[in-house]
Structure 1
Amino acid sequence: MRAEEYQSFSEAWEERATIRTRPRRRLEDDGKLIFPISRQPLVMGATFMRECAHLQHFVLVQSLYKFINDVVIFETEIVDKTARSIAKDNFAIRFPFACRYDAMTVVVDEDYHALVAMDYMQQTIELTGIQPISLPAEIELSRSIPKALAMAPDHLKAAVELICVAIAENTLTNDVAAFARDDSVKASVKGLMADHLADEGRHSGFWAKLTRIYWSTASEEDKRALASIMPVFLGEYLTNEIQQGFDFALIEQLPVSPGVKAALREEVEGMSFPITPSHPLVGNIVRFFKHSALLDAPCMQEALADYLR
């Protein structure tokens, strides 16, 4: 795709953006789960089910708080930064006005998602009386993007930033979709995720198109350099170290004996599996590499061979 072929989604944004069309999501006081059990393996372990089943609600509420915290960091510190730079024409890769206008709608959407998430978190605190434990100050992208940028020569740092954010936005879209389909959780949680998904579907296409525009103009030498960086970025991105650290901190807050805590930590460690080509997140990422035309380059195919098996 060439820059002059880009078509703005401004009309769709005016008609369908959640900031324009959705009501406030209010937390229900019903018997449904506030966070899917499937997304917190800690509560499915044998030790937890035997010794701590009565603490499931507490663990799921804390897991929701972490999810919301992750969303706020992602939206305001990762995506907002790059989208705002593009919108204000301060990004090293120059894009036409239509792209920059759409980038500003992404800024508005992402900051709104963060606001809605914070509102829902406050509602949860008020309804449950459960205060959040200390939440992580960073997400995996907070580490993986700087590491990828450090590998890039100065003239490719903007390209690395663009591609990394685009990968993350396309990964998140499918993750949120799975959350929104879970019938075990409260309707307001599903609505919250569905609202987010309504915007993220538009965003994922936006970032893929900008990546295609850049990639169509990149030299073969630059493509090879970028390809060499991608496996390092993905290796840092596709980890569960931060999640595991949170789970360990959460276990420490449980009112159980030291022996039970030790058994819970052991189970959490045993639930850590490597991210393989069969993992759903990898499938999402590979689809992005195809849709953005990055995989058209033999050097990228070679660099990502371990993820394409």
Structure 2
Amino acid sequence: MYQEMARQTLLAGDASIRQRTTAYASRYERWEDLSSVRRRPRRNFPAPPDGSPPADLFFPPELYPVVLHPLVAAKGETVGKALLLCRLYDYLDFTVDLENHAVIPVAQKISRGRSGLILPEQMMADAYKIVTDEAWHGQFSYDFARQIAATTLIPRAAARDTGVPAFMQRLDDMRDQLPISVRGLEALLFAIVSETLISGILSDIPRDDRLPDSVRELVRDHAADEGRHHIYFRSVLEHLWPALTPEERRAIGPQVPAAVYAFLEPDYAQTFRHLLGIGLTEAQADQVIAESWPRETVRRGIAEAAAPVVRYFTNAGALDDARTLDSFERAGLIARQPIGAGATW
């Protein structure tokens, strides 16, 4: 079993007969000087010296609109702030799971020549640096959550009590839609999508001076590394798409929007658990979620955040396929074109 796991590639088939792209410009020459694991200190969450509450706001409420809903507001300001702390815990736990279960396995495969592609040697070496970066992101997120719990005396739920992150179930659903011959490729696709989107998601939090300095510094460290990862995984896409056969492109292309939604759509089930935890009934929790995240509002937000990914896949030629184009339109990632109209991208 272990030998089989070691030999398994993300993309099946003979890599030597696939079209190769040799261009690669490394952004990791100064990794030793720039990477947070090499240059940034461990971020501590200190208790206030005067015994006052450790923080007034742990997460931007605009990014977690359930706390602004009247049914939640009626529970009082303390409850709303506690929900924002839960959201910070969720963000930290999401980071741990994303890095360990989605990004590191893919980067490790690339670094060991098991991507299913023939990539430049420097590109494989840089993937190992990404493995190191992502392991540190998972570690400092895990460690920081423990520090917050110890300081605030408000524990985060154990992983066994919160279920798996929503993105994992969504990836399982996506994999089930793929022909067996291309299963495994969804992992590489999701890594490309998540790593080219996460730097944008992280950009606002470090500038929010309502949050504790240590939270802002932690996210800033993460965002700086992810900016380099963004460029790297954009390059991975540029190597991947030309190497795919027409059949593989037709199979995986329509699943790109599913990968985008797997990463960007809110974790409704986790929020539902939090709302039950503050005393709402199941019907009230469903109402809060539905009214806080109206479907069309979520779709517009995802489309706005996903614009870079749409552009990269368009440039790669993915949307030249009619089924792929249709899937992007149905997902709301691009405007549906009238019959006979030319594309506007």
TM-score range, shorter chain: 0.7 to 0.9
Aligned residue among 50, 62, 73 for 2:97: 73
Instruction: Quote the sequence identity (%).
Output: 20
**Deviation, structure 1 residue 95:** 2.0
Aligned to 1:279: 300
**Deviation, structure 1 residue 154:** 4.4
Aligned to 2:64: 40
Aligned to 1:303: 327
**Deviation, structure 1 residue 155:** 4.4
TM-score (norm 1): 0.87
Moved more, 271-280 or 41-50: 271-280
Alpha-carbon distance between aligned partners in 2 of 1:190 and 1:202, rounded to the nearest angstrom: 19
Q: Indicate whether 1:52 and 2:52 are aligned.
A: no
Alpha-carbon distance between aligned partners in 2 of 1:12 and 1:20, rounded to the nearest angstrom: 11
1:194-273 map, 5 Å: 194-234=220-260, 236-240=262-266, 243-254=267-278, 256=279, 263=284, 265-273=286-294
Aligned residue among 112, 115, 122 for 2:139: 115
Aligned to 1:101: 125
Q: What do residues 196-240 of structure 1 show as CA deviations (whole Å, max 9, x unaligned)?
A: 000001111111101111112333333222223334444555543
SS in 1 for 2:306: helix
Do the aligned partners of 1:113 and 1:196 also contact (CA within 8 Å) in 2? Answer: yes
Aligned to 2:45: 27
Aligned to 2:6: none
1:144-223 map, 5 Å: 144-223=170-249
Do the aligned partners of 1:289 and 1:295 also contact (CA within 8 Å) in 2? Answer: no
Q: Indicate whether 1:8 and 2:5 are aligned.
A: no
Name structure 2 gaps, 5 residues minimum: 1-18, 49-53, 336-345
Residues 16/2 of structure 1: CA separation in 2 closer, same or farther (3 Å cut): farther
Alpha-carbon distance between aligned partners in 2 of 1:108 and 1:118, rounded to the nearest angstrom: 15
**Deviation, structure 1 residue 295:** 4.5
SS in 2 for 1:25: coil
The number of residue pairs the alignment matches comes to: 304
Q: What do residues 166-207 of structure 1 show as CA deviations (whole Å, max 9, x unaligned)?
A: 111122221111222322211111111110000001111111
Q: What do residues 136-160 of structure 1 show as CA deviations (whole Å, max 9, x unaligned)?
A: 3422331233333333334433443
**Deviation, structure 1 residue 45:** 1.5
Residues 79/275 of structure 1: CA separation in 2 closer, same or farther (3 Å cut): farther
Counterpart AA for 2:251: A
**Deviation, structure 1 residue 265:** 4.8
Q: Which has the higher helix share?
A: 1
Alpha-carbon distance between aligned partners in 2 of 1:277 and 1:129, rounded to the nearest angstrom: 34
TM-score (norm 2): 0.79
Residues 275/3 of structure 1: CA separation in 2 closer, same or farther (3 Å cut): farther
Q: What do residues 261-289 of structure 1 show as CA deviations (whole Å, max 9, x unaligned)?
A: 86455323322322569634323323223
Residues 93/163 of structure 1: CA separation in 2 closer, same or farther (3 Å cut): same
Alpha-carbon distance between aligned partners in 2 of 1:116 and 1:72, rounded to the nearest angstrom: 9
Q: Indicate whether 1:288 and 2:309 are aligned.
A: yes
